A = this chain, B = another copy of it.
Amino acid sequence: MSKEITARSEDYSKWYNDLVLKGGLADYSAVKGCMVIKPYGFALWEAMRDVLDRKFKETGHQNAYFPLFIPKSFLSKEAAHVEGFAKECAVVTHYRLKNDPNGGGVIVDPDAKLAEELIVRPTSETIIWNTYKDWIQSYRDLPLLINQWANVVRWEMRTRLFLRTTEFLWQEGHTAHATAQEAIEETEQMLNIYADFAENYMAVPVVRGLKSPSERFAGAVETYCVEAMMQDGKALQAGTSHFLGQNFAKAFDVQFSNKENKLEYVWATSWGVSTRLIGALIMVHSDDEGLVMPPKIAPIQVVIVPIYKGPDQKAGLDEKVNVIVKELRSAGISVKYDDSDNNRPGWKFAEYEMKGVPVRIAIGARDLENNVAEVTRRDTREKMSLSLDGLPARIAGLLDEIQLNLFNKAKAYRDSHITSVDTFEEFEKVLDEKGGFVSAHWDGTAETEEQIKERTKATIRCIPLNNPQEAGTCILTGKPSKERVLFARAY
């Protein structure tokens, strides 16, 4: 059967959309720019969320919930923040509809105009720091380590499922500290949690680095990021962690009395990852047959498809498979036994390949006689005939192998797509012909960065942490530079 997936080589962007839609991850909605996250996509988000949430709690953070709406005036309180966020946003101006006296259905009631417009949160620094003012008086109230799982809205004209949507789901951590040092350590700790999650759960290798000043979060003193590389040679920012200095504390007048009983402004961080990560996951691992899920966050790790003729064979298979299912589950492996008779085995094989289920077990009447099953890995599509004895342990090992293989494969691709160049000509050539990260000298000015972006569509993805210091000259201006930075075209 044809799964009707566009090949990557033919149209990468269409391939991506095919996987999202046909893999059952998400769907377009009737509201421009907003998506519907379908059950399989949401189960993936839940698996990702559960791992991250555990890591946040293990490092002392607590979840809370702040209002969806932000008074318009709040956005103006931090000067850089309003420039970055206030522009493209959903504005609530009224709080009531009424029946149209002319019979045209329901209309906005002009008498129900808000005195001050409310903005649907694009991010929550302002409403949260306005609240922290009431919660923080003394050094004893610090640190305040809070995270929120929420929906946010940033109005987008051109949208792509998961990668760029008007509404998306995310988590946003907002912490308050007594010293700059402690806040910086928090910022770095959260960056490391994101990197660990990306690499060890999503099997997506990332570069940890700092953003250039022009790419910083609006209102941040320093933005740390993890950057991943997609199969089309474009980069994707997989998470950011911001050291906000005292900017928001000053904007919202949040001071604490220190141990010497003197008032000081509080130091802040914020950090977040979103459903965008699902886009990265798809583009790093999947192939022309469909999605490929890393076992550690796969909604279904193992699918079992029975192959039989008639109810007697089915009953024999059921009996054995139920034992296997039980053993797998008690080993902590999620398994689906798809014995529905709506579809034939071949259809199911294609379906679970499309959905990227890491391991497929097919078992028929003859296999049962021989005490074996046919086991297929999604990553390599390799088939093996495995004994039913000790199968669960073998599957557990196989899932680990797949997880590792996906990471290694992605890392090999990524590593082979970091190219050092020393001239602007080479820079353009690599971007156009090979893609990936381009490591190049830059004179450190926003003007040069902007010119390079205009001419090549490449941006500075990051200045890697622990970057080797190396004297050189800027590829565009020839001015002196003390280190290379990573450029790429990006999502």
Q: A193 at the A/B interface (Cβ < 8 Å)? A: no
Minimal Cβ-Cβ distance residue in B for A105: B76
Cβ contacts A88-121/B at 8 Å (1 or 0 each): 1111111111100000011010000000011110
Cα-based distance from A31 to B38 in the complex (angstroms): 32
Partner of A63, one of B39, B62, B97, B135: B39
In the complex, what residue of chain B is closest to A85 when comparing beta carbons?
B97
Question: Which residues, 4 to 48 on A, are CB-close (under 8 Å) to B?
Answer: 27, 29-31, 34-39, 41-43, 45-46
**Is A302 part of the binding interface, using a Cβ–Cβ cutoff of 8 Å?**
no
Q: Given A69-B167, A91-B94, A97-B87, verify A131-B36 contact (CB < 8 Å).
A: yes
On whether the beta carbons of A64 and B90 are closer than 8 Å, the reply is no
- The reply to whether B89 and A96 form a contact with Cβ atoms under 8 Å apart is yes
Inter-chain CA distance A91–B65, complex, in Å, is 22
Given known contacts A88-B96, A93-B93, A155-B96, A39 and B27 CB-to-CB distance under 8 angstroms: no
Question: Chain B: which residue is nearest A169 at the CB level?
Answer: B65
- B94–A106 touching, CB < 8 Å: no
B67 lies within 8 A of A38 (CB): no
A391 contacts the other chain (CB 8 A): no
B106 touches A95 (CB 8 A): no
Contact of A90 among B37, B95, B342 (CB under 8 A): B95
Q: A197 within 8 Å of B by Cβ? A: no
Report whether B66 and A39 are in contact in the complex, using a CB–CB cutoff of 8 Å.
Answer: no
Query: Does B140 lie within 8 Å of A120, measured CB to CB?
Result: no
How many copies of this kind of chain does the complex include? 2
Complex Cα spacing A119 to B150, Å: 18
**Chain B residues with Cβ under 8 A from A42's Cβ?**
62-65
Q: With A39-B62, A97-B91 in contact, do A106 and B30 touch (Cβ < 8 Å)?
A: no
Is the Cβ of B68 less than 8 Å from the Cβ of A120?
A: yes
A150 vs B36: C-alpha distance when bound (angstroms): 13
> CB of A225 within 8 A of chain B?
no
Query: How far apart sit A166 and B94, CA to CA, in the bound complex (Å)?
Result: 13
| Alpha-carbon distance between A65 and B167 when the two chains are bound, in angstroms | 11
A413 close to B (CB within 8 Å): no
A130 sits at the interface (CB 8 A)? yes
Given the complex, which residues of B lie within 8 Å of A282, measured CB to CB?
Answer: none
* Chain B residues positioned under 8 Å from A62 (CB to CB): 39, 42-43
Residues of B within 8 A of A153 (CB): 68
Known A27-B131, A97-B86: A39·B64 in contact at CB below 8 Å: yes
**Chain A contacts with B in 313-371, Cβ cutoff 8 A:** 342
A70 interfacial contact with B, CB 8 Å: yes
- B31 and A67 within 8 A (CB): yes
Query: Which residue of B39, B105, B108, B342 is within 8 Å of A146 (Cβ)?
Result: B39
Contact of A131 (CB < 8 Å), options: B30, B86, B91, B135: B30
A470 at the interface (CB under 8 A from B): no
Instruction: Judge if A82 is at the interface, Cβ distance under 8 Å.
Output: yes
A82 touches B106 (CB 8 A): yes
Q: How far is the CB of A56 from chain B (nearest CB, A)?
A: 12
Is the pair A31, B95 in contact by a Cβ cutoff of 8 Å?
Answer: no
Q: Does A71 contact B (CB under 8 A)?
A: yes
Assess the B91–A92 pair: CB atoms within 8 A. yes
CB-CB under 8 A from A95, the residues of chain B are 88-91, 155
The verdict on A72 contacting chain B, using a C-beta distance below 8 Å, is yes
Q: How far is the CA of A352 from the CA of B117 in the complex (A)?
A: 40
Given contacts A106-B76, A117-B108, contact A151 B93 (CB under 8 A): no
Give the interface centre of A39, A41, A65 by most chain B CB atoms within 10 Å.
Answer: A65
Whether A75 sits at the interface, judged by CB under 8 Å, is yes
Name 13 interchain pairs, CB-CB below 8 A, sorted by A. A39-B62, A39-B64, A43-B62, A69-B90, A72-B97, A72-B108, A76-B105, A86-B106, A87-B96, A87-B97, A89-B96, A92-B120, A151-B151
Known: A39-B64, A91-B97. 10 other contacts (CB 8 A): A31-B70, A39-B63, A67-B167, A68-B167, A76-B105, A88-B96, A90-B94, A108-B117, A120-B120, A150-B151
Give 9 closest A-B pairs by Cβ, nearest first.
A39-B62, A34-B67, A37-B65, A91-B94, A95-B155, A76-B105, A93-B93, A31-B67, A90-B92
